[in-house]
């Protein structure tokens, strides 16, 4: 399939039919649509599928298979879409904070994006699972949305920190990185028993008023201040009903 056809399918999944001229409003709209429609999930990992990390592969996964993924997949696909639309965007590496270990992960633990616009440069991320829904302006910014209050600040000459309500989420450098630089950590998170992604199903997407999450067989719905949890013994049905993920090749 041609790159243009992949991008058209991607845009259809996001429901985009307005002006696609690169701009701050369009970037915000695309981020919002993405976190509402494309789930953060680890189905390939728990089904012991080990794809190589490639731009074409992640685009096909999101646009044609209509799946989700985790940071390397979601943000790489989104980077390719933004570039296709004429945005100036680069990959950056980040290290996720581990509360149990009380430290940040290894370099390239997370893939995020920086988008350059006439207004400035913006940290942009559709692949963290539950973080800010509006890009944050570098070098320092604060935004508040339904998920919380987020702060971006510089902590040293080369390090920036993203926090939610004073709790660290990840630290990052802003140097542009090639996709190949993330390959080793991508494989680590697919296979290591220390990876959070190998410990059980996680599938989550944002909603206008909260978030819907399937964690193993538990469906958790957050609607503003209300939180409900129910058991979903039929995983395939839950994935289809709440996330639009269709069982394929005997796995879902």
The C-alpha atoms of residue 88 and residue 36 are separated, in whole angstroms, by 23
Q: At what angle do helices 71-85 and 183-191 cross, to 10 degrees?
A: 140
The C-alpha atoms of residue 93 and residue 160 are separated, in whole angstroms, by 11
Peptide bond into 139 cis (omega under 30): yes
Distance of CA 71 to the CA centre of its chain: 5
Query: Is 71 a residue of the active site?
Result: yes
Tokens of 228: 């409900």
Q: Of the listed 34, 71, 203, 242, which one is catalytic?
A: 71
Q: Of the listed 34, 60, 110, 242, which one is catalytic?
A: 110
Query: Is 130 a residue of the active site?
Result: no
Phi, psi angle pair for 11, to nearest 5°: -65, -35
Q: Of the listed 125, 141, 189, 242, which one is catalytic?
A: 125
Catalytic residue annotation: 71, 110, 125
């Amino acid at each position: 399939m041609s790159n243009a056809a992949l991008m058209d399918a991607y845009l259809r999944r996001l429901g985009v039919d307005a002006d696609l001229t690169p701009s701050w409003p369009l970037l915000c709209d695309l981020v919002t649509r993405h976190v509402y429609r494309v789930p953060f999930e680890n189905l390939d990992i728990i089904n012991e599928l080990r794809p190589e990390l490639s731009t074409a592969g992640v685009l096909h996964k999101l646009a044609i298979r209509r799946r989700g993924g985790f940071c390397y997949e979601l943000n790489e696909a989104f980077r390719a879409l933004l570039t296709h639309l004429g945005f100036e965007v680069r990959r950056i590496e980040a290290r996720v904070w581990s509360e149990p270990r009380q430290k940040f992960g290894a370099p390239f633990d997370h893939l995020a994006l920086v988008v350059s616009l006439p207004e400035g440069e913006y940290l942009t991320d559709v692949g963290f699972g539950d973080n800010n829904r509006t890009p944050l302006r570098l070098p320092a910014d604060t935004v508040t949305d339904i998920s919380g209050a987020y702060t971006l600040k510089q902590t040293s000459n080369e390090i920036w920190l993203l926090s939610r309500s004073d709790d660290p989420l990840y630290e990052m450098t802003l140097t542009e990185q090639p996709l190949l630089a993330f390959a080793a950590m991508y494989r680590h998170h697919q296979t290591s028993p220390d990876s959070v992604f190998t410990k059980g199903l996680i599938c989550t997407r944002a909603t206008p008023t909260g978030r819907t999450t399937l964690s193993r067989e538990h469906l958790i719905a957050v609607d503003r201040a209300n939180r409900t949890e129910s058991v979903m013994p039929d995983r395939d049905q839950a994935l289809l009903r709440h996330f639009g993920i269709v069982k394929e090749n005997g796995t879902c």
